Structure 1
Amino acid sequence: MLQRSFTVDVFKVVAAQLIVWHHFSAYGPMSDTMNLQWPQLIDWLYNNARLAVQVFLVVGGFLAAQSVMNKTVTHPVISIVKRFLRLAPIYMLTLSLITLAVALSRANINADWLPNAPTFSQFLAHAFLVHDLLGVEALSSGVWYVAIDFQLFVVLVVLCNRLQGLGTRALSLGVALLCVASMGWFNRERALDIWAIYFFGAYGLGVLAAWAKRSAFDAGVFWVTALLGVGALWVEYRTRLNLALVIAIWLTIKPKSMVHWTPMKRVVHRLANSAYVLFLTHFGVIVVFSAMWNTSHFYNPVTAFALTGFAWGCAVGLGLFLHERVEIPVHHWISHQSKLMFLRLTN
């Protein structure tokens, strides 16, 4: 477990916190109150902190590429189902908790950012990660990313299955071509932002960054792709693509090294591991604290900032608790059961 890059852990932790603060700035009466005294801060969090999603996309591609780098994907459906089972249980649990929090808080929050009471079909669309594709209202702020991450993994697995037989070079070139197409064209079409192809530029850069360390050819593929990414910026500048390029290049040029695991670095590692659960649950914390603020009749921006900071700490703590006490045990149980099932199917 501790062999993973500490750099990746730092990227995940920082990006997760920025996303949480972006949503604190976007939703709730506390944000409106803080905006009275610190409008520039709230504006920066709302407009710029959300760019941290690009870090998750690059790192997601980087980690996914490592997971398939030394494996032959002969059964893509099994790999896809395993990924779904990795994402879905804690995802559905947190959606249920958020739905409950929204129901209990609805009487005290009169705002258009609060989701409507879900229907069964709406919940079902979320369960299968197709809510955006079907035009269904989201039940939480982070669910769109889970669906996109799953789509991106499916694309990578299919590419591996189709191209691995032609050799690792063919696979690298296939990923690079799709990455360049995304950066140069698809990522410029806003209507495509519910599809993996819109985000594959950042994700593909992460994939190629992971593979760049295994051979000179793969390193060359990455640098040519990055150069073409700079060209895509010249055609149409996008801050999100610029950030993705910087993160991918840093992951590529940083030398491999053994990490000396100090207590602080172990804390960062735990926070990085719980980033997914934090990403899923923090909207529910925002809902609960917004209802508390509305019933307290506070009006002071300093008080709003202090309460938001406390809510942030609660969100981080809840993410850690659910990750270590719920997500990990459930994942181990499902992994064991699914492994037995897949062995029966493939034998």
Structure 2
Amino acid sequence: MLERSLTVDALKVVAAQFIVWHHFSAYGPMAEAMTLAWPQLMEWLYHYARMAVQVFLVVGGFLAAQSVALKPTTHPVNQMAKRYLRLVPIYVLALALISMAVAVSRDAIHASWLPSEPSWLQFLAHGLLLHDLLGFEALTSGAWYVAIDFQLYALLMLLCHVWDNAHHKRLSMVVALLSAASMWQFNRMDELDMWAIYFFAAYGLGVLAAWAKRSPFENRVFWITAGLALGALWVEYRTRLSLALITAVWLVIKPKGAVHWTPIKRAVHRLSNSAYVLFLTHFGIIVLASALWNWCQASGPVTALAMTGLAWLCCVALGMFLHEKVEVPLHHWVSQKSKRFF
């Protein structure tokens, strides 16, 4: 609970905000106006803030590994199905909301970044998390991550099933080898960026970070893998891999302490819980804010910054509202209805 409440929550909140601001720097007329006044800041947000997704990958592996720690994965398909039902219902709802926002704004925005009107087949491919593999245009900026998260989780479940936790030393070594293979080879092949193996370098480090505290052997496996990551960075430096490594190392060395709940920590916890919905829905706010900017014929970098700040607050508020009022009840309802199958 401690790791989840403090370290992991803080990492998720900071990473989520960086990703949102990356997209604010990438899309819309407000970004163009701000770039004229603050080109270096906007360039940094565009090129580097997106790297925060590596934090999500490491944290995702960390939490998934904690959930299966010392528990045999006898029914991996059931685990995959539960993960799919955890990710997809709110994701599909977010896609529907974003598609409506795009439809309302289409006449006001004439830009290549605006998604085309979706077909039912395209929407189905998104719901099945296959849109990248089938070559469909993404309906939102975060669609790729949902598919990758599911692929990575499914791969981990398969590994845990084949090398179950009764032989956790062997399982840790397999995860380390696969993570090293990703670092040294697959993560350097951009054409693989729609497959789990491309991202397993970061995800695997998160898994090993969670297991490092189970035994001295697994602690050594983590640090050996971290050393291999440094070697991979020496061969070809990648900012995304260095950030993943730093995040995983911090999760391992962060000392434990007593949890003293404060209003700030409670706020961080709520923001962390809503990070997934924020990730899914903020693109719709960017679309609506861009349309409003064009409708009002606004101009100037200060106005653009003020409107972007307001849109950012709307993104955060919408994420928290949808998480607490829609995602949580929807997840409970889906879990109850699916109990008979799993």
Shift of 1:3: 6.7
SS at match of 1:123: helix
Partner of 2:103: 103
Paired with 2:44 and 2:237, the residues of 1 have a C-alpha distance of 19
Counterpart of 2:59 in structure 1: which amino acid? Answer: V
Is contact 2:226-2:245 (8 Å) kept? yes
Partner of 1:124: 124
SS at match of 2:71: coil
Misfit runs of 4+, over 3 Å: none
Alignment map for 1:70-219 (pairs within 5 Å) = 70-164=70-164, 167-219=167-219
Alignment map for 1:162-311 (pairs within 5 Å) = 162-164=162-164, 167-311=167-311
Shift of 1:298: 1.1
Paired with 2:5 and 2:222, the residues of 1 have a C-alpha distance of 19
Partner of 1:15: 15
Paired with 1:166 and 1:327, the residues of 2 have a C-alpha distance of 35
Q: How many residues align structurally? A: 342
Q: TM-score, normalised by structure 2?
A: 0.98
Counterpart of 1:65 in structure 2: which amino acid? Answer: A
CA RMSD across the alignment: 1.0
Q: TM-score, normalised by structure 1?
A: 0.97
Shift of 1:256: 2.4
Is contact 2:102-2:115 (8 Å) kept? yes
Paired with 1:304 and 1:5, the residues of 2 have a C-alpha distance of 35
Paired with 1:302 and 1:89, the residues of 2 have a C-alpha distance of 38
Shift of 1:261: 1.0
Shift of 1:38: 0.8
Shift of 1:165: 6.4
Paired with 2:87 and 2:95, the residues of 1 have a C-alpha distance of 12
Counterpart of 1:245 in structure 2: which amino acid? Answer: L
Paired with 1:103 and 1:288, the residues of 2 have a C-alpha distance of 10
Partner of 1:345: none
Paired with 1:127 and 1:259, the residues of 2 have a C-alpha distance of 39
List alignment gaps of at least 5 residues for structure 1: 343-347
SS at match of 1:108: coil
Q: Deviation string for 1:86-110 (max 9, x for gaps)?
A: 0010000000000000001000000
SS at match of 1:116: coil
Paired with 1:146 and 1:116, the residues of 2 have a C-alpha distance of 20
Between stretches 150-159 and 164-173, larger displacement belongs to 164-173
Is contact 2:34-2:305 (8 Å) kept? yes
Counterpart of 1:125 in structure 2: which amino acid? Answer: A
Q: Deviation string for 1:292-339 (max 9, x for gaps)?
A: 000111111101000000000000000000000000011111112222
Between stretches 185-194 and 165-174, larger displacement belongs to 165-174
List alignment gaps of at least 5 residues for structure 2: none
Counterpart of 2:203 in structure 1: which amino acid? Answer: Y
Q: Deviation string for 1:162-193 (max 9, x for gaps)?
A: 00166010110110010000000000001000
Q: Deviation string for 1:107-128 (max 9, x for gaps)?
A: 0000000000001110010000
Q: Deviation string for 1:233-284 (max 9, x for gaps)?
A: 1111111101110000010011222321111100000000000000000000
